[in-house]
Structure 1
């Protein structure tokens, strides 16, 4: 499916406690993303980067939560609102938004921009649930709350910029889970999201899991968004990520998953974001190069 892909960089690391993912968009571009997409027939334009404030110049606890903690919440709101505006404008121009992070908190803005006026399902690849709230988080890092924020869980229901009502929990599928906090485990079990752990992948295989996840995410909706945290992969494959956890998805499983997304979702695939590439922790930019490969597979690259 030929289309124009607009690259949007979000050099954000306010949502994490480890610096470096702000360089992720540059690393992915440097790895040859545009050339790889154009080699499979996709026109590619670069929309530049969203401006992100420096954490050294801000107070991490400047927010209005009465209980709990969400560091740099005010700054995250400003960035995510800009992301939403840029994504929405991309869609209005008839182009495909490809958002490069940065930490996973940027997904709040991407979801708001892509699901502004259409019911949208999300397949969320991640080692973590990102289902904490300010009351349950052990760290206060918003990248661990992004999905809960999008769904308006707990206090996020009172913050209109986080909650995207057109994304319903029954159209969310998480893939690759293997590191959950107690509070988010409770939230996930109490919600109607579909969650697939690495145990599910081991027992059922990546093909069956992804096919079921796409079916869940696209049921009675108009479009599908994919949010891909590179830490869903095993660190042996992707060492340069914000929060590496052993025992993840293999190289071939990841490509198979992306190929299945392309073949099963078809034209309903409306946007893609890839996050948490940390060049400081990487080896010769191999994680960014793998990110380029996986995006290309999701957008139609095949062996034959």
Structure 2
């Protein structure tokens, strides 16, 4: 069946920004995620929707072998990458362009979301954040059991954790707890559970999706992220989808979203008409088969940007 572009998609300018970052993860390979996405059908899907696509290349990321073997070196390097990315996403949103950030590990969202928040802050508005992920990524350097920074971006966007990484946005904090919503959680540390309860963050687990259905959960998520905000940043970790559908991820957790649930979530976000920026992260081609996960990600992005079945 042919793809039909919606009017909103036809007028959309999209800037692809690659972030080959693997410093936040212990498992190697996600630095090749942007290349895998570029080899997929992503641009073709977006152009068929009428989007004007411009690929601005990759944010420079230092080689981990070149970093000094001292405590905090990775965090400092990630902060520098995120600061660069924040400038790029802010510039795009200011210009009315939708930044599409391809990762790389999820620590990059501390920069991409901060940039979108900065652009809205300049308009006197706050940012809504929808976080599709198996994990909450809500640890700080003090609470993390692994020390991996890709498990910390949300904490820093809320103004917690390392002051340098938490202050990349002109908005303070980049995201307020009442404007953040999780969808698809199923693997959390005890400290993250406590933080969610303490801050009153809305978090929909896979049990919520099982019991209520994806439609009801996503309707609530969109309402939370759009109430009192100027728009939504969507940050999607490929591992929110079940590993049977998305095997090429570094931290797979069984029991995730099905293929149709994942597409429906994206379609609902598009229909809300509030999407300002999007991340698609944590694709690891080393663990994939025939670039299948990157192709799935390209199709999900297309749904978020307006592709419909009919």
- TM-score, normalising length from structure 2? 0.92
Aligned to 1:241: 249
Q: Please give the residue correspondences for 1:106-145 in structure 2 after superposition, counting only pairs within 5 Å.
A: 106-116=108-118, 117=121, 118-145=125-152
User: Does the 8 Å contact 1:112/1:164 carry over to 2?
Assistant: no
Gaps of 5+ in 1: 64-70
Deviates more, 1:92-101 or 1:124-133: 92-101
Q: Deviations over 1:247-292 (max 9, x none)?
A: 100000000110111112x1x2101110000000001101000100
Aligned to 2:302: 296
Q: Please give the residue correspondences for 1:20-59 in structure 2 after superposition, counting only pairs within 5 Å.
A: 20-59=29-68
Aligned to 2:276: 270
How far, CA to CA, are the matches of 1:29 and 1:218 in structure 2? 30
The alpha-carbon deviation at position 189 of structure 1 amounts to 1.4
How far, CA to CA, are the matches of 2:68 and 2:197 in structure 1? 34
Aligned to 1:66: none
The alpha-carbon deviation at position 93 of structure 1 amounts to 2.7
The answer to whether residue 14 in structure 2 is matched with residue 8 in structure 1 is: no
User: Does the 8 Å contact 1:115/1:164 carry over to 2?
Assistant: no
User: Does the 8 Å contact 2:104/2:282 carry over to 1?
Assistant: yes
How far, CA to CA, are the matches of 2:163 and 2:23 in structure 1? 18
Gaps of 5+ in 2: 1-7
The alpha-carbon deviation at position 160 of structure 1 amounts to 2.1
How far, CA to CA, are the matches of 1:228 and 1:259 in structure 2? 14
Aligned to 2:268: 260
User: Does the 8 Å contact 1:207/1:256 carry over to 2?
Assistant: yes
User: Does the 8 Å contact 1:60/1:73 carry over to 2?
Assistant: no
Specify which of 85, 88, 93 is matched with residue 86 of structure 1.
88
The alpha-carbon deviation at position 39 of structure 1 amounts to 0.7
How far, CA to CA, are the matches of 2:161 and 2:30 in structure 1? 28
Deviates more, 1:162-171 or 1:74-83: 162-171
The alpha-carbon deviation at position 193 of structure 1 amounts to 1.3
How far, CA to CA, are the matches of 2:81 and 2:134 in structure 1? 24
Aligned to 1:210: 218
Which 4+ runs in 1 deviate beyond 4 A?
A: 154-159
- Aligned in 2, Cα 1:293/1:40: closer, same or farther, shift over 3 Å? same
- Aligned in 2, Cα 1:147/1:60: closer, same or farther, shift over 3 Å? farther
Report the count of equivalent residues: 295
The answer to whether residue 198 in structure 2 is matched with residue 196 in structure 1 is: no
The alpha-carbon deviation at position 164 of structure 1 amounts to 4.8
Aligned to 1:173: 181
RMSD, aligned α-carbons: 1.5
Specify which of 72, 77, 91 is matched with residue 74 of structure 2.
72
- Aligned in 2, Cα 1:158/1:281: closer, same or farther, shift over 3 Å? closer
